[in-house]
Amino acid sequence: MIVVTGGAGFIGSNLVAGLEARGVNELVVCDRLGQGDKWRNVAKREIADLVPPDRLLDYLDIHAREIECVFHMGAVSATTERDVDLIMRENFTLSLALWHWCARHGVRLIYASSAATFGDGAQGFDDDGSIGALERLRPLNAYGWSKHVYDRRVARLVDQGDVVPPQWAGLKFFNVYGPNEYHKGTMKSVAAHIYPRAARGEPARLFKSHRPDYADGGQLRDFVWVDDCVDVMLWLYDNTHVNGLFNVGTGAARSFADLAAAVFVALGREPRIEFVDTPAEIRDKYQYFTQAEIGRLRAAGYGRQFMPLEAGVSTYVRDFLAAPDPYR
Which residues are designated catalytic?
143, 184
Please, which residues have CB within 8 angstroms of residue 67's CB and are 6 or more apart in sequence?
A: 1, 2, 3, 60, 105, 107
The separation between the first and the last C-alpha atoms of the chain, rounded to the nearest angstrom, is: 22
CA 122 to chain centre: 22
Phi-psi region of 138 (alpha: psi -120 to 50; beta: other; left: phi over 0): beta
In whole angstroms, give the CA distance from residue 111 to residue 124: 22
Runs of H (alpha helix) within the chain: 10-21, 56-62, 84-88, 94-105, 131-134, 142-159, 190-199, 226-238, 256-266, 280-283, 295-299, 309-316
Decide: residue 286, CB within 10 A, 0-12 exposed, 13-18 middle, 19+ buried. Answer: middle
Residue 42's Cβ-count burial label (10 Å; 0-12, 13-18, 19+) is buried
CB burial readout 81-96, b (16+ within 10 A) else e:
beeeeebbbbbbebbe
- The CA dihedral of 169, 146, 128, 311, to the nearest 10 degrees, is 70
DSSP for 120-175, please give it: TSTT------SHHHHTT---SSHHHHHHHHHHHHHHHHHHTT----SSEEEEEE-E
**Measured between alpha carbons, how far is 223 from 191 in angstroms, rounded to an integer?**
10
Contact 221, 254 (CB under 8 A): yes
In residues, how long is the chain? 328
